[in-house]
């Protein structure tokens, strides 16, 4: 069986374990062979010889930093396409761009999606698992007889021109300077500046300096800069982060429209409703985070998505999750008849130029309430009313409650230890928070060294460990991969059941909201001017109301019961609109 040894260099500390503990406990070393040896400077991290390793399992077990993985790979895997050095991450196989189609990639963080995309873009020269970059001819040879052969021939011959939208748009202002308009004009090879600016709703930020725009604006600027280039492969690494639902749909329609007989589009995305809507074909990526990743063969999107939720790829006989993910029908959801945790009368409040109105309503113990609404529409203000932090001008909050709040934007600049940030309270919730959020490996890290997803998990735990009756989580899905979103949903369910509290969740990932909410609170109006709160509604009624405003219809997939966006103008779309049923099923 092919075997790889992975050392996570960010965790490994060969002095901290008393000096190469892995080498000292290795039975092969004890026989006098060099299976695990100190590596070259500067870091001198150990090196494991895969051809000598017997897979005994001792070193990964004994390493105090959990830095070693010895992995027996599925039998049929051949050579990797790329590895990041000896004992580094290995990538097997690649997604295949197809002209005229949008091809999607779904999979966990750290499974090699960005690496695969960089290889196809020609930004990273793969090494086929050796210590040197492979030549173009070797790559073509490697893929001989497969779809990718043609692609690499074209790449070799300079016939592929790639435009690439990177994952981390927040890093753009570090390398790009100047006014938004100037930056976009500079890359406008297609002479499409005005069209693109209008479709992506960027007119109002053109005059601004790139360092002065919000996350959502930066995302749309990055997308604009990509599509303005003349290319035959457009690649988008996580294009919906920071965008609200309306913008996600708008951007998706636009990206879809790029694919034609001479143009291929490739997209990585964790919002499954958007990925389903946007793509024709889907590759699933599985493996072990930070260790290795495998790209599945492409599947038609609907099948691919259901396969992903199932956790089992039949034609490759590969189970990559020990359970399948199910979406419950309305009637299957538990009805909650518990008492109110908070309630309010018709009320309104004015803050500066902003007016917030709410119709009377209540939240019950043990409820998860999904909150739908744009940014700046008054969600935080409303929760402050519930907490009694601000008082309404008219009307009243009948039961004020203690509220804990996780803000949308997280501050990760402090160098405090995660352990201290989380404090004592969180220790009481080992089963409820620490384990499901996988926080143990983070406890001894400093806040300012965490990735976006790590910071998000810490912020969620900190909020939920507070002593409160209502918890408001603003965009908890940001930076979380699809598996973490689903794990988080289960955690919230267990949490409200056990603690008899209520959780309000603001998010723009509709699949996530559908999966997790008992009720829906809808915010309408005009951001920064007026917000109108209605509900909480039953899930279907709330979604229906919201989708009508966003002007899309959704049905449920017959097989998996997951929600899907209908194609505009399709028969189902027209039928549902005529019945005023924007959210079917
Ligand atoms: P994804 O996009 O699926 O989150 P990436 O392709 O960014 O994953 O990374 C996959 C793994 O490859 C990461 O977990 C990391 O361990 C490793 N990796 C990424 N870039 C480098 C690099 N430049 N050098 C060494 N290892 C890397
Ligand atoms: P959301 O949480 O939906 O993003 P907020 O409730 O934070 O929205 O804000 C709604 C609007 O109210 C924003 O335009 C914000 O600028 C304004 N606002 C919030 N608090 C105050 C305040 N204390 N004084 C003046 N305006 C405020
Ligand atoms: Mg990535």
Nearest ligand 1 atom to the CA of 285 is 3
Fold of the CATH domain 340-538: Rossmann fold (3.40.50)
The string of pLDDT tens digits covering residues 59-68 is 999 999 889 9
Residue with CA nearest ligand 1 atom 16: 290
Q: Which bound ligand lies closest to the C-alpha atom of 472?
A: 2
Order the strands of the 347-351 sheet from edge to edge: 347-351, 354-358, 530-538, 519-526, 368-372, 502-506, 470-474, 403-406
Please determine whether the domains at 90-161+231-319 and 340-538 fall in the same fold group of CATH: yes
Both structure tokens of 327: 């979406």
- State the architecture of 3-72 in CATH terms: 2-Layer Sandwich (3.30)
The string of pLDDT tens digits covering residues 108-149 is 999 999 999 999 988 899 999 999 999 888 989 988 888 788
Is residue 112 within 6 Å of ligand 1 at its C-beta? yes
pLDDT at 332: 47
Which residues contact residue 316 at a Cβ distance below 8 angstroms, ignoring those fewer than 6 apart? 296, 297
Which residues contact residue 269 at a Cβ distance below 8 angstroms, ignoring those fewer than 6 apart? 104, 105, 106, 236, 238, 239, 240, 275, 278
Calpha distance 473→471 (Å, rounded): 6
Calpha distance 308→481 (Å, rounded): 13
Nearest ligand 1 atom to the CA of 8 is 16
Band of pLDDT at residue 1, cut at 50, 70 and 90: low
Band of pLDDT at residue 210, cut at 50, 70 and 90: very high
Is residue 381 within 6 Å of ligand 2 at its C-beta? yes
Separation of CA 553 and ligand 1 centre (Å)? 37
pLDDT at 400: 84
Domain extents for the chain? 3-72, 90-161+231-319, 340-538, 551-585
The string of pLDDT tens digits covering residues 309-322 is 999 999 888 999 99
Would the pLDDT of 585 be above 80? no
Both structure tokens of 190: 């297609």
SS3 (DSSP) at 416: coil
Q: Which bound ligand lies closest to the C-alpha atom of 109?
A: 1
pTM greater than 0.85 = yes
Mean pLDDT, rounded, of the chain: 91
Most ligand 2 atoms within 8 A of CB, residue of 352, 384, 508 to mutate: 352
Residue with CA nearest ligand 1 atom 22: 84
Most ligand 1 atoms within 8 A of CB, residue of 112, 269, 482 to mutate: 112
Is residue 380 within 6 Å of ligand 2 at its C-beta? yes
Residues with CB under 5 A from ligand 3 (ion): 113-114, 167
Most ligand 1 atoms within 8 A of CB, residue of 6, 69, 84, 116 to mutate: 84
The total number of residues shown for the chain amounts to 585
Nearest ligand 2 atom to the CA of 354 is 12
- CATH for 90-161+231-319 is 3.40.50.300
Separation of CA 115 and ligand 1 centre (Å)? 6
Separation of CA 25 and ligand 3 centre (Å)? 35
Would the pLDDT of 334 be above 70? no
* DSSP category for residue 331: G
């Amino acid at each position: 069986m092919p075997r790889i040894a992975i050392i996570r260099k960010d965790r490994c500390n060969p002095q901290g374990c008393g000096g190469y503990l892995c080498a000292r406990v290795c039975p092969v070393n004890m026989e006098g062979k060099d299976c695990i040896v100190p590596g070259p400077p500067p870091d001198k991290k150990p090196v494991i010889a895969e051809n000598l390793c017997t897979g005994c399992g001792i070193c990964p077990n004994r390493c105090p930093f959990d830095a070693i993985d010895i992995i027996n790979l599925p039998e049929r895997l051949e050579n990797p396409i790329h590895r990041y050095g000896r004992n580094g991450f290995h990538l097997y196989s690649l997604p295949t761009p197809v002209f005229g189609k949008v091809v999607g990639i779904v999979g966990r963080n750290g499974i090699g999606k960005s690496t695969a995309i960089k290889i196809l873009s020609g930004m990273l020269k793969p090494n086929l698992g050796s210590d040197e970059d492979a030549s173009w001819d070797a790559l073509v040879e490697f893929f001989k007889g497969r779809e990718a052969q043609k692609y690499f021939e074209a790449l070799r011959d300079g016939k592929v021109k790639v435009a690439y939208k990177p994952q981390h748009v927040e890093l753009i202002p570090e390398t790009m300077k100047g006014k938004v308009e100037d930056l976009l004009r500079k890359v406008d090879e297609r002479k499409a500046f005005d069209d693109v600016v209008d479709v992506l709703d960027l007119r109002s930020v053109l005059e601004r300096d790139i360092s002065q725009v919000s996350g959502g604006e930066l995302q749309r600027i990055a997308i604009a800069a990509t599509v303005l280039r003349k290319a035959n492969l457009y690649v988008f690494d996580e294009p919906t982060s920071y965008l609200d639902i309306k913008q996600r749909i708008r951007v998706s329609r636009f990206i879809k429209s790029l694919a034609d007989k001479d143009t291929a589009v490739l997209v990585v995305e964790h919002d499954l409703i958007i990925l389903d809507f946007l793509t024709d074909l889907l590759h699933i990526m599985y493996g072990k985070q930070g260790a290795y990743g495998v790209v599945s063969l492409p599947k038609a999107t609907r099948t691919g998505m259901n396969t992903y939720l199932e956790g089992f790829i039949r034609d490759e006989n590969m189970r990559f999750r020990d359970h399948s993910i199910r979406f419950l029908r309305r009637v299957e959801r538990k009805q909650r008849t518990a008492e109110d945790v908070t309630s309010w009368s018709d009320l309104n409040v004015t803050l500066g130029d902003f007016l917030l109105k709410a119709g009377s309503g209540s939240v019950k113990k043990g409820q998860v309430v999904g909150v739908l609404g744009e940014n700046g529409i008054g969600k935080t203000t409303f929760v402050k009313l519930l907490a009694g932090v601000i008082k309404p001008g008219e009307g009243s909050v009948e039961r004020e409650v203690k509220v804990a709040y996780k803000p949308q934007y997280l501050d990760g600049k402090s160098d405090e230890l995660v352990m201290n940030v989380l404090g004592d309270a969180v220790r009481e919730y080992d089963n409820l928070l620490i384990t499901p959020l996988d926080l143990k490996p983070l406890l001894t890290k400093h806040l300012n060294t965490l990735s976006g997803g790590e910071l998000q998990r810490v912020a969620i735990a900190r909020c939920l460990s507070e002593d409160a009756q209502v918890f408001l989580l603003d965009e908890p899905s940001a930076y979380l991969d699809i598996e973490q979103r689903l794990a988080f949903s289960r955690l919230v369910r267990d949490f409200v059941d056990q603690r008899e509290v209520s959780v309000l969740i603001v998010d723009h990932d509709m699949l996530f909201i559908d999966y997790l909410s008992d009720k829906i609170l809808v915010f309408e109006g005009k951001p920064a001017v007026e917000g109108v709160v209605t509900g909480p509604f039953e899930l279907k009624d709330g979604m229906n109301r919201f989708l009508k405003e966003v002007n899309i219809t959704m049905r449920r997939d017959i097989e998996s019961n997951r929600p899907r966006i209908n194609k505009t103008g399709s028969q189902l779309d027209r039928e549902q609109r005529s019945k005023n049923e924007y959210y079917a099923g």
